[in-house]
Amino acid sequence: MIHEILPVGPLQCNCSIIGDEASHEAMVIDPGDDIEDVLALLSKHNLHVKHIVITHAHIDHVGGAMKLRAATGAPILLNQNDYSLLKMLDMQAAWIGVPPPGKVEIDHSLATGETVTAGSHTATVLHTPGHTEGSICLYFQAEKKLIAGDTLFAGSIGRTDLPGGSTQKILRSLHETVLALPDETVVVPGHGPLTTIGNERESNPFLVKR
Ligand SMILES: [Zn+2]
């Protein structure tokens, strides 16, 4: 599996490019910004984008999606519970001081249990509300990898004080869905360094049972 992780934009959102060496199919997850850099990596590996997957509708994760769709023709996928946040992108842009990205169109709503593929690599969608109502994680079971969006970070969890956030829901998502995965699963958070489920189960102060 080709897996490039590229921190994009002023908030350094971890954009993932996941590609299959044999078929050259790829998916891009959270193209928040810096689409020229994303396109350069895609052409370096000779990859064709099949899906643009958004873990949640915060501007630092979705801001470059329309530009990437225009360049590749790939559909944009997001859970429908975040559609209302998409209507607030101008406000979100003002919060972090970046130009508004314009209207983002979603081609398909991703529901829990659905799969998204890039050649031989398959991700299962896990709906993990809490950071936002429509937050999802992408679980690559065969590759033992989780793209966690802003639900789980190394040593921390997603903030829940923004519109649509819920501390109760994120803790339920983490305990019932995310921590149900095997310890050896590598976690790629929406920001910052990689970790594993086992590490976080053992040492994450928000998850350790007191
Ligand atoms: Zn976020």
pLDDT averaged per 10 residues, the chain (length 210): 97 98 98 98 98 97 97 98 95 90 95 97 98 98 98 98 95 98 98 98 89
Measured between alpha carbons, how far is 150 from 135 in angstroms, rounded to an integer?
A: 8
H or E stretch at 153: strand 152-153
Cα 21 to averaged position of ligand 1 atoms, centre (Å) = 30
**Cα-based torsion angle of the residue sequence 168, 129, 173, 167 in order, rounded to the nearest 10 degrees:** -20
Who's near 43: CB < 8 A, 6+ residues apart?
none
Measured between alpha carbons, how far is 116 from 120 in angstroms, rounded to an integer?
A: 11
- What is the predicted pLDDT for the residue at 190? 98
pTM of the model: 0.96
Bridge-based pairing of strands 108-109 and 76-78 is parallel
- What is the predicted pLDDT for the residue at 210? 57
What length is written for the chain? 210
Cα 159 to averaged position of ligand 1 atoms, centre (Å) = 8
- What is the predicted pLDDT for the residue at 209? 72
Cα 130 to averaged position of ligand 1 atoms, centre (Å) = 10
Structure tokens at 200: 């976080």
Cα 125 to averaged position of ligand 1 atoms, centre (Å) = 17
Angstrom distances, CA of residue 75 to CA of 60, 154, 180, 193: 19, 30, 30, 28
DSSP secondary structure code for residue 75 in this structure = P
3 state SS of 188:
strand
Cα 158 to averaged position of ligand 1 atoms, centre (Å) = 7
Edge-to-edge strand list for the sheet holding 121-127: 115-118, 121-127, 136-140, 145-149, 186-189, 195-196
Who's near 75: CB < 8 A, 6+ residues apart?
51, 52, 69, 107, 108
